[in-house]
Amino acid sequence: MALELKFNINKNTACDTFTFTQTTGPEDITNPTGWMDNVLSDYQDSYITIKNITENVIYNLIEIVPSDIVGHESDIIYADLIIQNTNNGIGVVKIADGVYSFTHTVLLEDNQLINTTNYFMSLCSIECKLKLLSIQYINYSSECSPCENKLLNLFVEAMALYDILKFSFKCGNFKDFNTILTNLQELLTTLDCKNC
């Protein structure tokens, strides 16, 4: 069978690094689409292409050494990404909210090109602001403050949009995702997340 590249993408808790985890594994009876020894040792090129679909930004290729070890990880520091066709970095440390595509491409010795694309959703800023909003609501509700109803309405609306946002991503509806993300960001614009 033909080689199928498999991998997972995650982010660290500080929201400043993606982790690319290879899961292709070696070829065997239980994994007929894994790496054959001779293919793994004779590839010409291997790289990852990252695109922020929400902002329509493509970053320069990142060279990656392919591995048949399931769970082999490579960290990709967000602040180190360079916008394609420029010398400009992204200028921020935290991973921006949005949908990202990660395409792992391998050029084999016989000039066969194999690639796989996975999508990843990052909502670091939104999740931080939702956490702050819930803490504010809990503090106001324990004091029977007149702000309680306003905060409750804001919290319910924000959580509903957050759930719809995650559902849009899961369904692959990135156009709706972008619209909902913008609405949610505007709704939460007054909350400051510098310390999250």
Read out DSSP for 15-43?
SSEEEEEE---B-BTTBTTSB-HHHHHS-
Indicate if the pLDDT at residue 195 is higher than 70: no
Q: Mean pLDDT in the chain? A: 88
CA distances from 152 to 51, 127, 145, 183, 191 (A): 36, 17, 11, 18, 15
User: Which tens digits make up the pLDDT trace of 166-192?
Assistant: 999 999 999 999 999 999 999 888 766
pLDDT of 76: 95
Indicate if the pLDDT at residue 143 is higher than 60: no
pLDDT of 194: 55
Indicate if the pLDDT at residue 141 is higher than 80: no
Domain that holds residue 94: 7-122
Point out the domain boundary residue: 104, 122, 140.
122
- Amino acid (one-letter) located at 185: Q
3-state SS, residue 18: strand
CB atoms within 10 A of CB 194: 5
What is the DSSP secondary structure assignment for residue 109, as one 8-state letter? Answer: T
Average pLDDT over residues 149-160: 84
d(CA 96, CA 126): 10
d(CA 123, CA 15): 9
Identify whether 62 is part of a domain.
yes
Say if residues 193 and 129 touch (Cβ distance below 8 Å).
Answer: yes
- Amino acid (one-letter) located at 66: P
- Number of structural domains in the chain: 2
The answer to whether residues 64 and 105 belong to one domain is: yes
Point out the domain boundary residue: 122, 139, 160.
122
Q: Could you tell me what percent of the chain has a pLDDT over 90?
A: 66
User: Which tens digits make up the pLDDT trace of 48-92?
Assistant: 999 999 999 999 999 999 999 999 999 999 999 998 888 777 777
The answer to whether residues 107 and 81 belong to one domain is: yes
Average pLDDT over residues 130-149: 69
Say if residues 122 and 97 touch (Cβ distance below 8 Å).
Answer: yes
Identify whether 117 is part of a domain.
yes
Q: What pTM value is reported for the model?
A: 0.88
Identify whether 194 is part of a domain.
no
CA distances from 88 to 79, 80, 102, 129 (A): 11, 10, 20, 29
Question: Where do we find the tokens 């909350």?
Answer: 191
Q: Which residues contact 41 (CB under 8 A, 6 or more apart)?
A: none
Point out the domain boundary residue: 96, 122, 148.
122
Q: Which residues contact 164 (CB under 8 A, 6 or more apart)?
A: 180
What are φ and ψ of residue 170, in 5° steps? Answer: -60, -35
The answer to whether residues 91 and 156 belong to one domain is: no
Identify whether 16 is part of a domain.
yes
CB atoms within 10 A of CB 120: 18
Identify whether 34 is part of a domain.
yes
